[in-house]
Chain A
Amino acid sequence: MSTYEELRQQADEAWREWASPARTLIKIGLATCSKAKGAEDTFEAIRDEINARGLDADVAITGCLGLCYAEPLVEVHRPDGRRFLYGDVTPEKAKQLVDAIAEDGVSAELALAVIQGPDVPGVPRLEDIPFFAIQERRLMADCGTIHPRNIDHYMARGGYEGLARALTMTSEEVIKEVLDSGLWGRGGAAFPTGRKWDFLRTARGEPKYILCNADEGDPGSFVNRNLMESNPHLVVEGMIIAGYATGGARGFAYIRDEYPICVERMEFAVQQARERGLLGENIFGSGFSFNMEVVRGAGAYVCGEETGLIASIEGLRGMPKIRPPFPAQAGVFNKPSNVNNVESYANAPLVLRNGAAWWSSVGSERHKGTKMFSLSGAIQRVGILEVPLGISMREVLIEAGGGVPDGQIMKAIQSGGPLSGIIPASDINEPLEPEPFRDRGMFMGSGGLIVLDDTDCIVDLCIYFEQFAEDESCGRCTTCHGGTQRLVEILRRISNGQGRSSDIDHIRLLADTMRYANCVHGQAAPTAVLSMIRFFEDELKAHMQEKRCPAKVCRALICYEVGEQGPNLPKAEAICPTNAVVREATAYRIDQEKCIKCGACKEVVPESIQVLDAYQDVVAILTPL
């Protein structure tokens, strides 16, 4: 059995090769987002180019820095200590990049930032670029710099030091440290993590289980993915510490099926931790034993609800149960269990390594620590960042995110996934902490922030959320599966211009009833619609009374027409998937019976095709009076 110091020494040696390479080290970020943008091809193109020229350089992978908008990202680390970051490195740009490497210089044209070393004219330093400037990177400190499959890198950066320290303390002292830090659950419920751990510690029954909710199912939320792909040991260490603090002996990390890279890297991390004796019997000779494994989900949103997750691990359909009993009393296999989000566990090693005082040195008056957020939708810079809690949404969305695309106006912000609500853009100066969202009847949630601009329709987004809630309802309680169906029906009717004056009252009645659903899925499903009624009444009324969709999205309320006849209209005729663009004599027109309103014609001939308000009274056509 190795001691922490022995493992650390071994890690420090391995780290030196990475942190002070003897020859040029080229690191390519490889995670879900960069892979989608072709980072694997970039990796091969760079490696082939290096090999073809016989250059003295190594090519390796790393995790994700969070700059989705600039992927694929490549870092060039020179033996003299200079480090440069290159963005948008497509395979085609690989040659140009390798040219720069061969000449022992930096390509100011391609470089996104200087990470380390003297300034380069025209190239900002990484910490000064807008997306980085507001960040306080603690959880993400090593994301995109270490090798995600190398435990030595993690340990050399201080990994497992928190565990080693925890093992010298009593379980009560560990819990006190976590309580003192002020850490609360990052999954959205904001319950103090230390108190939750204490429930398990004092619970009766053996064995006790530590469960990690890595089923990040909220569409538009992808912060947990970043941690598991870029620094999986942080999550593993957090779970081991939770095990020690609560008397937990076994752990499961339940990861959604849509995250195959997370599954692979977390499984690898668990295996490595086992090989080093960080998992298993008698960890660091402390007498404490803990084992864990990764469970791969299979596509069910409701498994992100803790009792649904437990049912899924047990091998049942992932259907939530009524609480109480809470997992701390009767969790997985009816044994006491603790369920926390990925980001909650990932904070534990930082609290134990650096102490509660350090951990709570950032944040707002009421809320300590940092929080990761993912930005998507109508925003210039899509990505993942980590900021102190309580920072204003303006800083995150405008300064870091760059605001909405040029020429558009920000309309709304959606946070917390499909079970949460939508707030108007005028609230952008509110701080990112639970209260402002709670005051508006919704949640801050697990970190997803989706921005809407004036080309987006609130009614349409609400239909999407309610359809999602309906599809993903487990079906156990009628309150939820029936309630979501009725909500979808009403919203579809409104979107089709068939809204009734009684609809708003009906939605409120449904929402009041759905509060009695068995789990949060049904209870919170109407949140988005309620926030639409509260904050976007004008837009809703335009659909209901004027039969008009101001953003021109709801397709029953718009039609495509040929405006000016023009020479490019044959292109519209050619692209139309339903042959709805027809030529009569010399003029083109659109056959409204055939048109499916996909908008392809307007894309190819914007100068000749118009989108008009055109409510078609389907009922009037179908039922003669």
Chain B
Amino acid sequence: MSIADQDQVLDNPLSGISTLLDNVLPELSQLLPSLHKIQHELGYVPREAIPIIASKLHTTPAAIYGAITFYSEIRLEPPPETEIAWCSGPACRLKGSENIKRALEAVLDVRMGQKTPDSRLGLRLVQCDGTCEQAPLVRLNGRTMGNLNVSEAIKLGRDLLAGQQA
């Protein structure tokens, strides 16, 4: 199979990805915009997209994979349906975020950065965005739940497991 044919095979089921990159200039400096565009559309950057981006930007799949794994906001896996983003920042830490993390891990039975086997729930570590007035905080699918204590976090985790809160 020629390289062009391989590209074809990879391209076909994912023609959407090529289309997404239609307006992107074929230069390496468009790497971050390309990754953001794909992740914005699909929620993550599928592995199959890597060679497509690489050929578009005239670089190697390894360079693309290297960048994806370097930048923590770019995901190679689809996000869970419901994501608890746990703020790892210092203000949260000083106000007991480690206890919240341990309790959530215990309740959901997943570790930070993982999701439940059915992909329904997941825990994700995020960096401080300066909403420290709300410390300690988590964000439930982007919605901030601030000034949280451990027992509230446990109740949140249990409610989510029971499917009472989306």
Contact = CB atoms under 8 A, between A and B. Distances in A.
B150 A461 contact: no
Interface size class of B (residues with CB under 8 A): 35 or more
Contact of B133 (A69, A314, A603): A69
Contacts of A296: 32-33, 36
A71 B132 CA distance: 12
Contacts of B66: 317
A316 B28 contact: yes
B96 A314 contact: no
Contacts, number: 169
B90 interface: yes
Contacts of B32: 295-298, 312, 315
Interface in B55-77: 57, 59, 63, 66-67, 70-74
Interface size class of A (residues with CB under 8 A): 35 or more
A577 B107 contact: yes
11 contacts: A37-B133, A69-B133, A257-B71, A297-B71, A298-B72, A315-B57, A374-B130, A418-B90, A465-B90, A577-B103, A577-B106
Interface of B: 27-33, 35-36, 57, 59, 63, 66-67, 70-74, 88-91, 93-94, 96, 98-100, 102-103, 106-107, 126-135, 137, 144, 146, 149-151, 154-155, 157
Contact of B146 (A37, A217, A474): A37
A35 B67 CA distance: 31
B88 to A, nearest CB: 8
For the residues of B in contact with A, the DSSP-based class is helix
A522 to B, nearest CB: 17
Closest A-B pairs by Cβ, 7 of them: A222-B130, A299-B73, A376-B132, A298-B71, A315-B28, A219-B128, A315-B31
Given A297-B32, A314-B29, A450 B94 contact: yes
A598 B99 contact: yes
Nearest to A70: B133
A217 B88 CA distance: 13
B156 to A, nearest CB: 12
Nearest to B100: A598
Contacts of A361: none
Contacts of A295: 32-33
A298 B36 contact: yes
B38 to A, nearest CB: 12
Contacts of B70: 300, 317-319, 474
Given A316-B31, A316-B67, 5 more contacts: A258-B73, A297-B73, A315-B31, A382-B135, A456-B94
A618 interface: no
A296 B107 CA distance: 35
B71 A37 contact: no
Contact of B127 (A258, A313, A598): A258
Given A219-B90, A219-B127, A68 B72 contact: no
A222 B129 CA distance: 7
A33 B102 contact: no
A299 B71 CA distance: 5
Interface string A237-260: 000000000000000000001110
Given A314-B28, A450-B91, A464-B90, A603 B132 contact: no
Contact of B144 (A36, A259, A298, A318): A36
A424 interface: no
A297 B146 CA distance: 26
B132 A222 contact: yes
Contacts of B31: 315-316
A219 B133 contact: no
A201 interface: no
Interface in A364-389: 374, 376-378, 382-383
B132 A68 contact: yes
B150 A382 contact: no
A596 interface: yes
Contacts of B157: 577
Given A299-B127, A315-B31, A452-B94, A219 B71 contact: no
Given A300-B72, A600-B154, A225 B103 contact: no
A219 B35 CA distance: 25
A182 interface: no
A460 interface: yes
Contacts of A225: 129-130
Contacts of A297: 32, 71, 73
A461 B151 contact: no
Contacts of B99: 597-600
Contacts of B155: 575
Given A37-B133, A575-B151, A600 B128 contact: no
B27 A36 contact: no
A195 B28 CA distance: 32
B91 A603 contact: no
Given A219-B127, A298-B36, A578-B106, A68 B91 contact: no
